[in-house]
A and B are shown apart, each in its own frame.
Chain A
Amino acid sequence: MSERIRRLVHELPVLGYLVVVWVLLWGTWSWANLLAGAAVALVVTHALPLPQVEQHARFRPWAVLRLTVVFLGELARSSAEVAWEAVRPGGGRSTALIVVQLRTDSDLLLSLVVEALTLTPGSIVLDLDREDRIIAVHMLPVRNHDDLERRRRGVLQFEDRIVRAFGRADDIAALDRLPDPAGIGRPPDATGGADAIDEQRGGRR
């Protein structure tokens, strides 16, 4: 019994979210809507169970507010950039595909980072290696190699912002630990790291 109660408590954020969606869909607030929404939410979560996301996130209002402002600003800026690339003659001919190692090791934070990155600084996340926290990012437009390095740092800055808004204390501590400042955001160098990854991949195949 206590196991079921614990599960229910674990599901509370999802249930709350579903109830809010239900009430918003009806457009008017009433107790009947709330109860119906709760019933629908329970049916949905129990009929279609999803794997649980174990790590709980924190919610830091001030950092979240800053993140929202930065996010909307970046969305507007990159929209304008891509729109200009689409309109100007000869646009869209300079892109890049880079690999960045992130520092956070939480499923929830990683998915937030990936979602936000795809929407914001001219980037789309192409692939993700969960074990090594490496993401492959496609960039458009990229003018030259300096621009590329700037964007590489931008990806890590964005991760920084998101983790500081939603991460737990140990997630934030991990930001300073990894990666080493000399090779910030660089892929594992061709000598050691890449081979290790190859071996892992080969073993998994």
Chain B
Amino acid sequence: MSGLLDAVAAVLLLLGALLCLTAGLGLVRFHDVLSRMHAGTKPQVMGVLLILAGAAIRLRGSSVVWMLLLVAVFQLLTAPLAAHLVSRIAYRRRHVRRDLLLVAEIGFEGFGQPLPADAPQGDEPAEAVTDTSAPSGGSSRAREG
């Protein structure tokens, strides 16, 4: 019985480690901040949860298991918030690959204004643009290529 449980724990630990690896790969391979945040939340959180589950099975009966539960809860609570804040700031500073977006129903200036296909990009807060009706003013900052 204990051997079987250890085997289950090993499988969970390996699966979790694999998911964390793909999260790291995603951070390197994805093309803009918004996509990278996907890698930083979903496979990452799932990987940590699997590792915690594996550890809980392996350490069964120990009081440490309760702390693992806390780690899981905090991971679930904090990871989405961090991803949300980072991607929101990145978007307002125009770190986005418009060509990879099938549709973009929100502009840099906020809701109600879709993002045009030739939106200027670069590290500049959207608030810096005062005249939103003349996007050509920012065309010098347009992405090369």
Contacts and interface: CB of A to CB of B under 8 A. Distances in A.
Interface of A: 21, 24-25, 27-28, 75-76, 78-79, 81-83, 85-87, 91-99, 114-116, 118-120, 122, 124-127, 129, 132, 134, 136, 138, 140, 142, 144-145, 148, 187-188, 193-195, 197-198, 201
A24 B66 contact: yes
A81 B115 CA distance: 26
- In the A-B complex, the 9 residue pairs with the smallest Cβ-Cβ separation, listed nearest first, are A27-B63, A86-B26, A118-B80, A83-B22, A79-B46, A194-B112, A197-B112, A99-B105, A96-B102
B35 A95 contact: yes
Contacts of B102: 94-96, 142, 144-145, 148
A97 B115 contact: yes
Interface of B: 19, 22-23, 25-26, 29-31, 34-35, 37-39, 41-43, 45-47, 49, 63-64, 66-67, 69-70, 76-77, 79-81, 83-84, 87-88, 91, 100-106, 109-113, 115
Contacts of A95: 34-35, 100-102
A182 to B, nearest CB: 18
Contacts of A83: 19, 22-23, 26, 42-43
| Interface SS, B side | helix
A102 to B, nearest CB: 13
B46 A75 contact: yes
A27 B66 contact: yes
A93 B34 contact: no
Contact of A75 (B23, B42, B106): B42
A135 B79 CA distance: 18
A82 B64 CA distance: 31
Contacts of B105: 97-99, 136, 187
B103 A126 contact: no
B127 to A, nearest CB: 9
Given A95-B101, A198-B113, 13 more contacts: A75-B42, A79-B45, A96-B102, A98-B103, A115-B76, A119-B41, A120-B42, A126-B34, A187-B111, A187-B112, A197-B112, A201-B109, A201-B111
Contacts of B87: 124, 126, 138
B32 to A, nearest CB: 8
Contacts of B37: 124, 138
Given A75-B45, A86-B25, A118-B84, A136 B111 contact: yes
B84 A125 contact: yes
Contact of B84 (A76, A126, A193): A126
A87 B67 contact: no
Most central of A118, A122, A127 by chain B CB within 10 Å: A118
A145 B103 CA distance: 9
A127 B113 contact: no
B70 A25 contact: yes
Contacts of B35: 92, 95, 140
Nearest to B34: A138
Given A24-B69, A82-B38, A187-B105, A87 B80 contact: no
Contacts of A75: 42, 45-46, 49
A204 B42 CA distance: 35
Contacts of B19: 79, 83
